[in-house]
A and B are shown apart, each in its own frame.
Chain A
Amino acid sequence: MSVITDIAILVLAAFVGFEVISKVPNTLHTPLMSGTNAIHGIVLLGGLLLMHEAHGVLEHGLLVIAIAFGTINIVGGFLVTDRMLGMFKRKPDLPSGGDAGKEIEGP
C-alpha cells in the first residue's frame, strides 16, 4: 500500500470517528472515554509484529513490556467499561425492598 492510501484511510477514519461519537450523550462520556481508551490498546499489534525481528535482550525486553502495556490497556479498558455500563443497564426497577439485601461496603 502506498503512503497516499494510508493517509486516505487516516482521514476517512477521522471523519468516521467524529460522526459516530458526536452522537454520544453526556451521561455516557466516562464509559466512552474508557471504551475508546481500550481501543487504542490495539498498538499491541505493533509489539506482536515486531517481536520476530528483535535482536538482543534490550529489544526483546522492551517488546515484552510493550506487549504487557498494550494488553493491560486492552483488557483493563474493556473490563472497566463493561463494569461501568453494567450499572447503567438492568432494571425495570425492582419493587422497593427487593434490592435492600445488597449492601455495599464502605471505603
Chain B
Amino acid sequence: MILGTIFLQSSNFIDACYIVAFSLFIYGMSGLTGPRTAVRGNKIAAVGMAIAIIATLLTPHVLSGSSTPWLMALGIVIGVAVGVPAARNVRMTAIPQMVALFNGVGGGAVAIIAWIEYRHHFGGTFELRIEIPSLFAAIVGSVSFWGSNIAFGKLQEILPGRPIKLPGQSFVNGVLFTICVASAVVLAAGTHSQALFILGILLAAALLGNMVVLPIGGADMPVVISLLNAFTGLSAAATGVALNNTALIVAGMIVGASGTILTNLMAKAMNRSVPAIVAGGFGGAIAAPAGGGDEDRGPVRSTSAQDVAIQLSYARQVVIAPGYGMAVAQAQHAVRELEKALEKKGVTVKFAIHPVAGRMPGHMNVLLAEADVPYDLLREMDEINPEFPRTDVTLVIGANDVTNPAAKNEPGSPIYGMPILEVNESGAVIVLKRSMASGFAGIDNPLFYDPKTAMLFGDAKQSVSDITSEVQAL
C-alpha cells in the first residue's frame, strides 16, 4: 500500500503520465485531419487532458494543506457549472464567439498564474529562467484575455461590429507595448515591485489587448481569434517553462504552432497580412467612403420567390454560396430542404464554400453538416471556381464580401487581391439579402448591380422556405 503510494508519487511516474498525456494530444490532433477520425481524435485529446490532471494531483505536496483540495474542487465545480451548459446550449451559429470566450478565459488563467508565481518569488530569489517566462506569460495572457473578450463582444453584437477608430491609436498601442516590455526588463533586471508588475505588466497588457482588437473590423475577427488562440498557447508554454512542467510546455507549444498556421492560412485566404490586420486596416477606413458616393452603379433588379423557383427548377446545375447571413438567419435547415427539393427535380446542387465565409474558417461546413447536407456536396473555392461558367444559377445566401468581383477587377478596392467565389461567371446569380447594406467589411459589392444578378430581399430563412415550397409546387 505504502509502496504503491510511493510509486504513484514518484516523479518518474508522473513524468511518464505527462508523456502519455501529450502523446495523446498529438495523436488526437492528427485524428482531426479527417472528418471520420476527428470525433475520436478529440476524445483522445480529452483523455490525455484527464491523465495530465490526475498526474498533477498525484504530485507530492500538491494536495497538502487542509483547504487546498476544497479550493481546487470549488474552482473545478465552478468551471464545470459554467462551461458545460455554455458548450451544450450554444447555437451552432454562435460558435465563433464561444471559441473566443473559451480562449479568453484560458488567457486569463495564464495571467493569474503568472501573477501568483511572481508574488511567490517577490522579494526573494527569482531565477531568470522562471522570471522571464512568467513575465512573458503575464503580458501575453493578459492581452489574450482582454482581446478575446472584445472579440466576443463584437461577435455577440454587444459591442458594435464595425471597427471603432480611436485617435492616435497606433501611437497609443506602441506606447502600451513599450510600457509592457520596459516594465518586464526592469523587473527582470532585479527590481522587485508588486505595483510595477500589476500596473506595468498586467494593466498595460490589458489595455493593449483592448486597444488592438477594438479597431479591427468584424470581417477580420476570425483571424484575430486564431491569433489570440496561438498567443494563449504560447503563454501556456511559457508558464510550463516557469513551472518546469513538460505537459504544459508541449501542449502549449502545439497550440501555439497550430494557431500560427491557422492564422496565416486565414490571412492568406483574404490576401491580407497579419500585421496589417493587427494594425486595424480595412473595414474601418473604408466604411465611410463606401456608404456615400457609389450611387451611380446602375439599377438593382429585385425578384420574387416564385421566379427564383422556376429558374432553379429548370437549371441543370445550381451552386449555393452561403455566407454569414445564412448563419444569422439560422437558414441552414431550410437550405437543406431546398437542396433536397431540387435534387428531386433532377437538378445537380453543389455548395461553394469560401475559406473565410462566415466568421471562422469552416463555419459554413459546420452549419451545413448540422443540417445534414452530405459532405460530398461541399466544394472548396479552388474546386468550384472553374465550375461557375458551367453553372446555370448561383444562389448566394447571405454572402457578400467573399463574392465581391471588385476583389478581382478593381485595383482600388480595399479587398483587391482577395480570392473570391467567382459567382459572376455563372449564367445567372440570385442574391438573398436582408437589405442593400454593405457586408461586414463595409465595402460596396458591384455584383449586386450586375445585369445577370437578381436580388431577393428578406430574411434568408423565410426566403429559402418560400423558394422551396414554390419548387415543390411546380
Complex interface residues of chain B between 58 and 85 (CB less than 8 A to chain A)? 59, 61-65, 67-68, 71-72, 74-76, 78-80, 82-84
A20 touches B108 (CB 8 A): no
A21 touches B74 (CB 8 A): no
Complex A-B: 21 CB contacts under 8 Å: A10-B237, A13-B249, A14-B254, A17-B255, A17-B261, A23-B33, A28-B362, A29-B355, A32-B29, A39-B254, A41-B102, A45-B248, A51-B72, A66-B112, A69-B105, A70-B75, A70-B105, A72-B79, A84-B95, A87-B370, A88-B39
0 or 1 for each of B237-271: is its CB under 8 Å from A? (1 = yes): 10111011111111111111111011001100000
0 or 1 for each of A43-67: is its CB under 8 Å from B? (1 = yes): 1111111111110000110111111
B99 touches A34 (CB 8 A): yes
A contacts with B, residue count (CB < 8 A): 85
- B297 at the binding interface (Cβ < 8 Å): no
Min CB–CB distance B71 → chain A (angstroms): 5
A72 touches B102 (CB 8 A): yes
Report, nearest first, the 4 A-B pairs whose CB atoms are least far apart.
A71-B79, A17-B257, A67-B75, A29-B361
Q: Is the interface of A mostly helix, strand, loop or mixed?
A: helix
Contacts of B245 in A (CB 8 A): 45-46, 49
Partner of A30, one of B74, B102, B361: B361
A16 touches B362 (CB 8 A): no
Given A43-B106, A43-B113, A72-B83, check contact A36 B62 (CB 8 Å): no
- B306 at the binding interface (Cβ < 8 Å): no
A residues within 8 Å of B by Cβ? 1, 3, 6-7, 9-10, 13-18, 20-54, 59-60, 62-89, 91, 93, 96, 99, 103-104, 106-107
Complex CA distance for A81 and B92, rounded to whole angstroms:
11
Q: Is the interface of B mostly helix, strand, loop or mixed?
A: helix
Given A29-B262, A69-B108, check contact A9 B365 (CB 8 Å): no
Complex CA distance for A96 and B240, rounded to whole angstroms:
52
- B290 at the binding interface (Cβ < 8 Å): no
B99 touches A37 (CB 8 A): yes
Contacts of A70 in B (CB 8 A): 75, 79, 105-106, 109
